[in-house]
Structure 1
Amino acid sequence: MSGENSLQQRVVARLSELDPGIAEAELQVLPGGHSGLTYRIDFLDSAAVVKAVPPGRAAIGRHDMLRQARILSALQDTDVPVPSVIAVDDREPAWFAMSWARGEAVEPVLDGIPLPEALVRSRARTAVGILARLHRVPVEKLGAPDVPAVSLTDELDKWTKVLRAGVAEYVEPGLRLAELLRASEPAPVSSTIVHGDYRLGNLLFEDEEATALVDWEIWSVGDPRVDVGYFAVFANHHNFPALGSPVEAFPPEEELIRLYEEKTGAPLAAPSWFRALGRFRMAAIMSHNLHRHRKGGHIDPDQELLPPTIAALISNGTTLMTDTGGRSVNNPNEADPNYERSMTAAKGRR
């Protein structure tokens, strides 16, 4: 509590320079954040969002608030919609405040929130346009050239490490997929700013208008195709059995990739490889989260719904890498030894 009181005092002291009326305002915890402490505070005629390093945590990785503030500041005067940075306090534990963005963030395939089919299609297509605009932002906008580019080998190493820290039964099939990816790693392209977790669930919308791209915890400078392949994973509800609801209205992966090519004016090399990488990444993340839940690190009973999805992501990614014809894969490989057992268990819990 003392840590929250100290943060409250620091935030109010800084923001009162801009809004004297904030003196009596209190930080309100926003649920759902896993990358630091996230609060809302009434500010001016609206509100602000405050993100802070958790007490006792090192300000690195997803807890590096100054790094998050940096990318948002760099994108302020671009055509990528992001919240504006209001204040930054680099004293430990660091925090920053950004404008409150209007709208809702819905991941159609996961959240189980029904949306009109036309709205799903419109938002998906809008998201592709925003992604293309993000990848056109010059890396020099970041200022001092101290952001090393992340190679595809680096990407594979990172998510392989996450996979190994997950549930044991998914390590071996996941590593097989990782080896297929390593054996056919595409030639590099020019590096861009990469969001890292690009999906509709991280875009705020008011009806069809995108108001803000949020959750910049794992942004990097790297291969833009990483974002494209990851976004495509969420277009296919067969990747997520037992989670959310089937969404047939989401444009197919191939359509999204063609639209991205139209927006950027260049063909996307090795699209199947990056679609498979996106599945590998998502499987590693989910397996790691499930392991943390089962070990008591972050208790969340909903994590027990993940096994069939983890199996499907790995199986579907493997099929993409072994389907030499490059055909679309719409269904997970139900021959996977974990699939049927996981599906039965998940259906019994729902």
Structure 2
Amino acid sequence: MTAEDTDYFDRLVDVDALAEFLTDKLGPTEDYDVYRHEEGHSNETLFVEWGGRELVIRRPPPGETADTAHDVLREYKVIDALQETDVPVPPTVAATDDHSIIGSDFYVMDRLRGEVLRDAEPETFANEDDRHRVGTELVDTLASIHELDYEAVGLCEFGRPEGYTQRQVDRWGKQLSWAFEVTTDEREVPVLREVGDWLQENCPEEHPQTLVHGDFKLDNVMFSSESPVDLIAVFDWEMSTLGDPRADLGWMLSYWREQSDQTTDREEFVSTFMTHPDYPSRTELVERWEDQTGYEFVHERFYRALAVYKLAGLGEMFFRRYLEGNSDDPMYPRMEQQVPELADRALRIIEGEEPL
């Protein structure tokens, strides 16, 4: 670990204060270690060894003012509420808003072991049955989120479901406007403005009201390591709220590619291994979701275009941060070309050139 890494780690956790907190909750141990998980891009994740028990701690980045995206106690609330439901989540341990321990709100849950699919499929999954199960387990779990009686588990005040979809369109339009303040000096993306106008004109006025995950995709879930594949946990609930389940489905589908889709060498957000014919098609996933939830995926071009528009918005914000010198992430400068390509993809969806 470099001196810079050590300094950042020390800003994330006071290991002695954390040990006192865990001792109070779990009892003492002589076997204790803490280290940082490097994969996260929003809230920070720490792994803890406590005796024979493996734990995970989630906390906001240091120095951030807490908002919805970094509200880890909100994330804990939904995971804790889902403990005895059909939605698979890690077992919760404790949460606190006492900043004297590690300098922020944080929560603790048990660590699970399994496979998170990002860039490639594990060799053990490389067969027809397990590939198909990856897709069906994914969409079945999304359906279980949308079928949940959120009032019965104490989440009736977890969000404002009315008008959720319109707020999504408005929010991401504002995010793009903020990014454009800087990025248009380098290049413009007029297609994104065209897509944004179409979304405003075609936003559904009514929608079902369910619990939504907000970032449901293949690399935010964990599968068992053995065959047959079983989805054992859903992670990253920081964007969850009460809203429109079709927006959740559209987001998941934006990451589920097919062999006929147009792709580029600069695809930063999406893996493509599911283009293998053993995986279910997007149409099959939608039909399965409709059968289980009883909802119809109406306005499908809107929801799929909205998802890609949001991906483009994320990329454009990354590009602004790069131009302002606020990030050294090597992915960020590539957004100069990636965002226009995402904008073109959203327009293809709108115009029916990238069908479901």
- Quickly name the TM-score band, shorter chain normalised: 0.7 to 0.9
Provide TM-score, normalisation by structure 1.
Answer: 0.84
Q: Equivalences for 1:159-174 in 2 at 5 Å? A: 159-166=172-179, 167-168=183-184, 169=187, 171-174=189-192
| Alignment correspondent of 1:199 | 217
Name which of 70, 73, 76 aligns with 1:63.
Answer: 70
One-letter amino acid of the structure 2 residue matched with residue 287 of structure 1:
E
One-letter amino acid of the structure 2 residue matched with residue 253 of structure 1:
R
Matched-pair identity in %: 24
Task: Tell me the alpha carbon deviations over residues 58-86 of structure 1, each in whole angstroms, 9 at most, x when there is no partner.
Answer: 12122111111111111111110011210
Task: Indicate if the aligned counterparts of 1:233 and 1:253 stay in contact, CA closer than 8 A.
Answer: no
Question: 1:144/1:137 Cα in 2 relative to 1: closer, same or farther (>3 Å)?
Answer: closer
One-letter amino acid of the structure 2 residue matched with residue 222 of structure 1:
G
Is it true that 1:329 corresponds to 2:355 in the alignment?
yes
Name which of 31, 35, 55 aligns with 2:38.
Answer: 31
Please give the alpha-carbon distance, in whole angstroms, between the structure 2 residues aligned to 1:294 and 1:121. Answer: 42
Compute the displacement of 1:32 (Å): 1.6
Compute the displacement of 1:301 (Å): 1.3
Question: 1:285/1:22 Cα in 2 relative to 1: closer, same or farther (>3 Å)?
Answer: farther
One-letter amino acid of the structure 2 residue matched with residue 224 of structure 1:
P
Provide TM-score, normalisation by structure 2.
Answer: 0.82
| Alignment correspondent of 2:160 | 148
Task: Tell me the alpha carbon deviations over residues 148-173 of structure 1, each in whole angstroms, 9 at most, x when there is no partner.
Answer: 22521100111112222334345432
Task: Indicate if the aligned counterparts of 2:212 and 2:242 stay in contact, CA closer than 8 A.
Answer: yes
| Alignment correspondent of 2:4 | none
Task: Tell me the alpha carbon deviations over residues 242-285 of structure 1, each in whole angstroms, 9 at most, x when there is no partner.
Answer: 23556422433222111111121332221121111111111111
Name which of 294, 305, 322 aligns with 1:265.
Answer: 294
| Alignment correspondent of 2:264 | 241
Question: 1:122/1:309 Cα in 2 relative to 1: closer, same or farther (>3 Å)?
Answer: farther
Instruction: Give every structure 1 segment of 4 or more consecutive aligned residues whose post-TM-superposition deviation is greater than 6 Å.
Output: none
One-letter amino acid of the structure 2 residue matched with residue 220 of structure 1:
T
Question: 1:280/1:4 Cα in 2 relative to 1: closer, same or farther (>3 Å)?
Answer: closer
Q: CA RMSD in A?
A: 2.4
Please give the alpha-carbon distance, in whole angstroms, between the structure 2 residues aligned to 1:287 and 1:251. Answer: 31
SS in 2 for 1:212: strand
Question: 1:104/1:239 Cα in 2 relative to 1: closer, same or farther (>3 Å)?
Answer: farther
Is it true that 1:175 corresponds to 2:193 in the alignment?
yes
Name which of 53, 56, 76 aligns with 2:83.
Answer: 76
Compute the displacement of 1:21 (Å): 4.1
Please give the alpha-carbon distance, in whole angstroms, between the structure 1 residues aligned to 2:94 and 2:324. Answer: 38
Please give the alpha-carbon distance, in whole angstroms, between the structure 1 residues aligned to 2:220 and 2:147. Answer: 19
Please give the alpha-carbon distance, in whole angstroms, between the structure 2 residues aligned to 1:305 and 1:21. Answer: 48
Is it true that 1:42 corresponds to 2:49 in the alignment?
yes
Question: 1:137/1:240 Cα in 2 relative to 1: closer, same or farther (>3 Å)?
Answer: farther
Is it true that 1:217 corresponds to 2:238 in the alignment?
yes
Please give the alpha-carbon distance, in whole angstroms, between the structure 2 residues aligned to 1:135 and 1:5. Answer: 36
Question: 1:78/1:246 Cα in 2 relative to 1: closer, same or farther (>3 Å)?
Answer: closer
Is it true that 1:89 corresponds to 2:96 in the alignment?
yes
Compute the displacement of 1:24 (Å): 5.0
One-letter amino acid of the structure 2 residue matched with residue 262 of structure 1:
D
Question: 1:233/1:170 Cα in 2 relative to 1: closer, same or farther (>3 Å)?
Answer: farther
Question: 1:195/1:170 Cα in 2 relative to 1: closer, same or farther (>3 Å)?
Answer: farther
Compute the displacement of 1:52 (Å): 1.5
Gaps of 5+ in 1: 331-350
Is it true that 1:188 corresponds to 2:206 in the alignment?
yes
Compute the displacement of 1:142 (Å): 3.6
SS in 1 for 2:24: coil
Task: Tell me the alpha carbon deviations over residues 306-332 of structure 1, each in whole angstroms, 9 at most, x when there is no partner.
Answer: 455433322222222233xxx7438xx
Compute the displacement of 1:144 (Å): 5.9
Please give the alpha-carbon distance, in whole angstroms, between the structure 1 residues aligned to 2:188 and 2:235. Answer: 30
| Alignment correspondent of 1:157 | 170
